[in-house]
Amino acid sequence: MLYSEKVMDHFRNPRNVGQLTDADGIGEVGNAKCGDIMRMYIKVKDNIITDVKFMTFGCGSAIATSSIATEMIKGQPIDKALQLSNKAVVEALDGLPAHKLHCSVLAEEAIKAAIKNYYDKNNIAYDKEKFCQLDCPCTAHHK
């Protein structure tokens, strides 16, 4: 079987789907190669992500990674949510086929984009390297 039971469960019964009209941060990322688009909405109170929703246009793996990623950061301090890696998302889903790993990267990036949006809206200082994409000039720091 290509997909684990967890992937299939999160695809068939995604958690935290929808929008937060009063979101404190919104992050949208996409992958031009596969056409997946992910939008994450977060509510933050006292530095804790109190609610999170997502809207994903994409394949089953994109939906499953979005769903489990929201579960993994809900109720967590922002700093802990920022540490969520695509590897942790894949492990939580009991694996993904190699050609679908980019979906887990999108989930990680969408969370970071939503947190960055929250920081920007509230004039909160942050370490820009934490939000650095792989194709940015400071990639050398990540190797």
Whether 34 is a known active-site residue: answer yes
The one catalytic residue among 34, 132, 136, 138:
34
Measured CA to CA, the distance from residue 90 to residue 86 in angstroms comes to 6
Q: Are 105 and 89 within 8 A, CB to CB?
A: no
Is 103 assigned a catalytic role? yes
CA distance 37 to 56: 6
CA terminus-to-terminus distance, the chain: 34
Q: Give the residue numbers marked as catalytic.
A: 34, 103
